[in-house]
C-alpha cells in the first residue's frame, strides 16, 4: 500500500485566517515532504522532515509553518497568506531521506481570497 492521505481536499481562506493542512501515511516511511504546485508548473519543494526533524526548509516564508507531530503525520500551518499562495499543496513520503522514491498524496487545493 503506497497511500498518502491529505485533508482537506479543498480550502478557501481569507488573508487573515489561520488554517492547517494535514498529511498522513501508514507505510512506515521516515521522510515526509511538503510541495507547492502552481498551474502548469512542476512541484516546488518547501520542506523536508526526516525522522520527525526538519531537515530542509527551502527559504519558505514564515507564514507557512510545518509541524511533524509523529512519524505518520505532517501538518502545514497557514497564517496571513497572500492570494499568490493559492496553489495545490502536495505531501509526499519516502522510506527515508536516502531512498528516493517519493509517493504523493492527493493534494489540497488552496485558494486565498
Partner 1 sequence: QKEVEQNSGPLSVPEGAIASLNCTYSDRVSQSFFWYRQYSGKSPELIMSIYSNGDKEDGRFTAQLNKASQYVSLLIRDSQPSDSATYLCAVTAFSGYSTLTFGKGTMLLVSP
Site for partner 1 in 52-81 (CB under 8 A): 55-56
Among 26, 99, 111, 113, binds partner 1 (CB under 8 A): 99
Angle at 20 between CA 1 and CA 23, to 5 degrees: 10
Which residue stretch of 20-28, 69-77, 78-86, 105-113 sits at the interface with partner 1 (rule: CB under 8 A)?
105-113
Strand order in the sheet with 73-79: 4-7, 18-25, 73-79, 64-70
- Joined grid coordinates for residue 63: 507564514
Which residue stretch of 19-27, 62-70, 77-85, 97-105 sits at the interface with partner 1 (rule: CB under 8 A)?
97-105
Amino acid at each position: 500500500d503506497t497511500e498518502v492521505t491529505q485533508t482537506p481536499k479543498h480550502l478557501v481562506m481569507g488573508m487573515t485566517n489561520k488554517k492547517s493542512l494535514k498529511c498522513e501515511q501508514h507505510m512506515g516511511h521516515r521522510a515526509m515532504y511538503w510541495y507547492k504546485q502552481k498551474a502548469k508548473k512542476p512541484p516546488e519543494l518547501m520542506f523536508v522532515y526526516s525522522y520527525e526533524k526538519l531537515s530542509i526548509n527551502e527559504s519558505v516564508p514564515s507564514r507557512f509553518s510545518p509541524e511533524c507531530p509523529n512519524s505518520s503525520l505532517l501538518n502545514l500551518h497557514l497564517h496571513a497568506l497572500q492570494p499568490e499562495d493559492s496553489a495545490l499543496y502536495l505531501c509526499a513520503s519516502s522510506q527515508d531521506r536516502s531512498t528516493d522514491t517519493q509517493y504523493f498524496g492527493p493534494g489540497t487545493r488552496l485558494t486565498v481570497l
